Amino acid sequence: MTNSAPSFDAEFRGWLETLIAWRRDVRRFSVRPVPPDVIDHLLDVAQLAPSVGNSQPWRWVRVESPGKRAEIRANFLDCNDKARQAQPDRRADAYAALKLAGIDRAPVQFAIFCDRETGQGHGLGRLTMPEMLEYSVVGMITNFWLTARAAGLGVGWLSILEPARVAADLAVPPSWNFVAYLCVGWPEEEHLDPELERYGWQDRSDAGRKVKIV
Amino acid sequence: MTNSAPSFDAEFRGWLETLIAWRRDVRRFSVRPVPPDVIDHLLDVAQLAPSVGNSQPWRWVRVESPGKRAEIRANFLDCNDKARQAQPDRRADAYAALKLAGIDRAPVQFAIFCDRETGQGHGLGRLTMPEMLEYSVVGMITNFWLTARAAGLGVGWLSILEPARVAADLAVPPSWNFVAYLCVGWPEEEHLDPELERYGWQDRSDAGRKVKIV
């Protein structure tokens, strides 16, 4: 609450950049369990994420039961099949060869929602941009991802799902909008390059590095 | 590209949590300029953010000219007036007393867009959730925010703007969806508690810390 703010030295900044560079979307997990206190601590730190109007609209569902995991998996398989069919013929085989989800093995799995009707924040900052609520959830997930990686854990964000079906399967309140399905566990492999680059799907480009100045 | 992944020690993890705890939405800036190489480096690191299908859909516009800054400011003032009127009477004065933007002083200002029609990524991961493109931009912004804070810089995310008007004023391509207006500079004050908490607008709660288990 004071002005005695910390100062971050060059060594820390260097490690932070290493963390950012090595953070990957992980789909290949060991089945080794994750100690509950490790997850609890990550969830505590995640609460410190920014949110529009201090609304903290993230809502967590931990998917543990084999039945619920099977429903999520069926949702993924259906969506993934449609996505493969939506690819042009020349890319359909390449698409089918990608590993896009760790739901078969990840020991910890969360569905994360955004409560679109939370009163917290009193609407501040979202009159013209209601999507700021979801963006706040995404900022929290990004923090979670980095702190998990710093603890040696991998995170995979699965988006090949029908959002309304996830919400129905998990029986969440109608105001909860599905944002992400996160697979969490110890990674089986570590790589500096993204999996989609390594398997020839999509290289990085400099399109997002250019800055238009007005 | 190898398996020689870095291991992050307890000291680093402690500082990372300190960084996350002290990262604030900054609206009170010094006018002291920010060296261009500091911003360039932050933009380089931002490229390493995760993105759906490795699409990297973020597009940067740096708003420098007094004319363009005045247009953004007029947009903000109009939206802020509407937002104040949308508050219940008992909160309208409290709303008016808040400082919600640093656009009057922040030396560096960016409008950040999402290119909804980028071919990069070949559509992967966004057939059922097209909003994953915007979420990727938000993840990048979160990384940028943390690395900026580690460098001693403050960032303020302004969302009290009419998105279509920002796009029109800055004359960006029609496929660019406005995501964020970022004010960047050296903060005048440092606080551990969020400004909205300090000024009595909205305390933090534990609603986002509960985990439903299924």
- pLDDT tens for each residue of A167-184: 999 999 999 999 999 999
Q: Which of B87, B192, B208 sits opposite A1 (nearest CB)?
A: B192
Question: Closest Cα to residue B153, out of B48, B34, B31, B27?
Answer: B34
Residues in A closer than 8 angstroms to B2, CB to CB, are 191-192
Residue B171 in contact with partner chain A when CB distance is under 8 A: yes
Residues in A closer than 8 angstroms to B146, CB to CB, are 16, 143, 146
> What is the edge-to-edge ordering of all strands in the sheet holding B176-185?
A211-213, B58-62, B108-115, B176-185, B154-158
Q: Please, which residues 9-28 of chain A have a Cβ atom closer than 8 Å to chain B?
A: 12-13, 15-23, 25
Residue A156 in contact with partner chain B when CB distance is under 8 A: no
Residue pair B73/B162 in contact (Cβ under 8 Å)? The answer is no
Residues in B closer than 8 angstroms to A146, CB to CB, are 16, 143, 146
Q: Which residues of chain B, if any, have pLDDT below 50?
A: 1-2
- pLDDT tens for each residue of A33-85: 999 999 999 999 999 999 999 999 999 999 999 999 999 999 999 999 999 99
Is residue A2 predicted with pLDDT exceeding 70?
no
Question: Closest Cα to residue A72, out of A198, A156, A148?
Answer: A156
Residues in B closer than 8 angstroms to A8, CB to CB, are 15, 19, 149-152
Question: Closest Cα to residue B43, out of A211, A194, A142?
Answer: A211
CATH architecture of the domain B30-130 equals: 3-Layer(aba) Sandwich (3.40)
Residues in B closer than 8 angstroms to A151, CB to CB, are 8, 13
> What's residue A5's pLDDT?
83
Q: Which tokens in the block code for residue B202?
A: 């909205």
> Which CATH number is correct for A28-198, 2.60.40.10, 1.10.1270.20, 3.40.50.2300, 3.40.109.10?
3.40.109.10
Confidence of residue A99 (pLDDT cuts 50, 70, 90): confident
> What's the whole-number mean pLDDT along residues A123-139?
96
> How close B174 gets to chain A, by Cα (Å)?
15
Q: Which residue has the higher pLDDT, A102 or B3?
A: A102
Is residue A1 predicted with pLDDT exceeding 70?
no
Residue A175 in contact with partner chain B when CB distance is under 8 A: no
Q: Where are the domains of chain B?
A: 30-130
Residues in B closer than 8 angstroms to A212, CB to CB, are 59-62, 172
Does ipTM come in above 0.85? Answer: yes
Q: Please give the Cα distance from A124 to A106 (Å, whole number).
A: 37
Confidence of residue A3 (pLDDT cuts 50, 70, 90): low
Relative orientation angle of helices B163-170 and B66-86, to the nearest 10 degrees: 170
Residue pair B119/B144 in contact (Cβ under 8 Å)? The answer is no
**Would the CB atoms of B213 and A61 count as touching at under 8 Å?**
yes
This prediction has a pTM of: 0.96
Residue B202 in contact with partner chain A when CB distance is under 8 A: yes
